[in-house]
């Protein structure tokens, strides 16, 4: 291992990104970036963090996984023509992977309700994808929700991601007199209207507004008992924390699928701010990986792909086969990660759409949706 480090330092080995296992110390040697003749070297380093090794053998993440993963992708409705072009180029690029479904988010208090509906409807009509519409109950009355559900059903959409949601900053009362206060109430109401497939949210590191982890788990159980088929987990960079959460879920008698959320990180500062709002912890090792890379987009992308791929393969080694990718409306990293996990694009027949005329825009650093 030291000979490898010496060769890199001497310039005898010059790839942009290398990672090697040291089986004795279970450490990792990583070359993060080569800037001219200078080498930025961090060694040894565990991407799963030292605490993870009590549960995870990092060597397991490189064992051959015989079962191909099942993936789903999340998009958010665009706000500008440029963002719209990038969204549909991303949809077009990811479509051949044939995910289980793709979901479209719903802004705080229904602020993107129309844009979400238009996006979901177009995906259903013009692609081979199965769209799932995010729907929140905060700020909506039952009649309003029922009307929107009817519109989705008529558009051929059969999958809803049911969430409580948050009101926009400065808004008034969250629940109208005829409204629904909690996601479990929304799930039950959706089931009373039509036989939708329903997904709900789970929080491996506990919802920031939950009284306790136990109370948060009880709430998850209420949502699933009300009729939801699965829970999609908030992204979590601490793989061991997700596995501990999954153990607690099973001990609570919850047998529904809990799908880990995977967020490829490229704009680290933005992820830190968003994570503070949603209760996701940022491990020190992750901050160290992105330190000094604010102006180096290419290296940031390499690091982001590496970290997400390592996490997915570690989870696969633990028997997990479903993954939900928060794409932030860009395809490049998700495509690369899925390919490393063994997925290959399928040949699809063209559906009647304007996709053939879409030119792939320059991939911008992603922005967190509202």
Position 109 scores a pLDDT of 55
Residue in 10, 50, 66, 74 annotated catalytic: 74
Going by pLDDT thresholds of 50, 70 and 90, the confidence category of residue 176 is: confident
Going by pLDDT thresholds of 50, 70 and 90, the confidence category of residue 212 is: very high
Is a pLDDT exceeding 50 seen at residue 214? Answer: yes
Radius of gyration for the alpha carbons in the chain, expressed in angstroms and rounded: 21
| Alpha-carbon 294 to chain mean position | 22
Position 67 scores a pLDDT of 79
Is a pLDDT exceeding 50 seen at residue 32? Answer: no
Answer yes or no: 291 catalytic. Answer: no
Q: Is 136 exposed, middle or buried (0-12, 13-18, 19+ CB in 10 A)?
A: buried
Is a pLDDT exceeding 60 seen at residue 236? Answer: yes
Position 96 scores a pLDDT of 96
Is a pLDDT exceeding 50 seen at residue 45? Answer: no
pLDDT one-digit tens code per residue, 284-297: 999 999 999 999 99
The domain at 64-345 falls in which architecture?
Alpha-Beta Barrel (3.20)
Compute the CA torsion angle 81, 85, 87, 89 (nearest 10 deg).
Answer: 180
Residue 32 contacts residue 42 (beta carbons within 8 Å): yes
Question: Please, which residues have CB within 8 angstroms of residue 286's CB and are 6 or more apart in sequence?
Answer: 237, 265, 268, 307
More confident residue, 178 or 362: 178
Mean pLDDT (whole number) for 180-199: 96
Element holding 201 (H helix, E strand): strand 197-202
Domain residue spans in the chain? 2-45, 64-345
Is a pLDDT exceeding 70 seen at residue 174? Answer: no
Going by pLDDT thresholds of 50, 70 and 90, the confidence category of residue 138 is: confident
């Amino acid at each position: 291992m030291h000979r490898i480090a010496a060769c890199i330092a001497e310039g005898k080995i010059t790839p942009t990104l290398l990672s090697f296992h040291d089986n004795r110390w279970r450490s990792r040697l990583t070359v993060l970036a080569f800037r001219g003749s200078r080498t930025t070297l961090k060694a040894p380093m565990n991407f799963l963090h030292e605490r993870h090794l009590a549960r995870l053998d990092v060597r397991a993440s490189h064992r051959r996984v015989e079962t191909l993963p099942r993936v789903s992708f999340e998009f958010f409705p665009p706000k500008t023509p440029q963002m719209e072009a990038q969204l549909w180029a991303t949809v077009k690029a990811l479509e051949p992977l044939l995910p289980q479904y793709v979901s479209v988010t719903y802004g705080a208090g229904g602020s993107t309700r129309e844009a979400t509906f238009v996006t979901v409807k177009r995906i259903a009509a013009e692609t081979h994808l199965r769209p799932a519409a995010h729907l929140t109950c905060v700020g909506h009355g039952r009649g309003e929700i029922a009307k929107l559900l009817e519109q989705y059903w008529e558009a051929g959409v059969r999958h809803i991601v049911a969430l409580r949601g948050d009101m926009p900053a400065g808004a008034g009362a969250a629940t109208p007199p005829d409204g629904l206060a909690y996601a479990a109430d929304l799930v039950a109401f959706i089931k009373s209207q039509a036989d939708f497939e329903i997904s709900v949210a789970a929080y491996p590191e506990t919802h920031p507004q939950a009284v306790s982890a136990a109370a948060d788990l009880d709430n998850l159980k209420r949502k699933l008992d009300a009729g939801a088929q699965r829970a999609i987990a908030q992204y979590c960079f601490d793989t061991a924390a997700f596995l501990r959460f999954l153990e607690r879920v099973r001990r609570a008698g919850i047998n529904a699928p809990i799908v880990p959320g995977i967020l490829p990180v490229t704009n680290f500062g933005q992820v830190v701010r968003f994570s503070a709002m949603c209760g996701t912890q940022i491990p020190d090792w992750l901050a160290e990986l992105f330190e000094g890379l604010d102006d180096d987009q290419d290296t940031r992308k390499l690091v982001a792909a590496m970290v997400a791929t390592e996490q997915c393969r570690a989870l696969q080694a633990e028997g997990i086969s479903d993954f939900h990718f928060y794409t932030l409306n860009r395809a490049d990293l998700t495509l690369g990660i899925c390919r490393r996990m063994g997925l290959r694009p399928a040949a699809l027949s063209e559906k009647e759409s304007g996709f053939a005329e879409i030119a792939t825009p320059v991939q911008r650093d992603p922005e967190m949706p509202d």
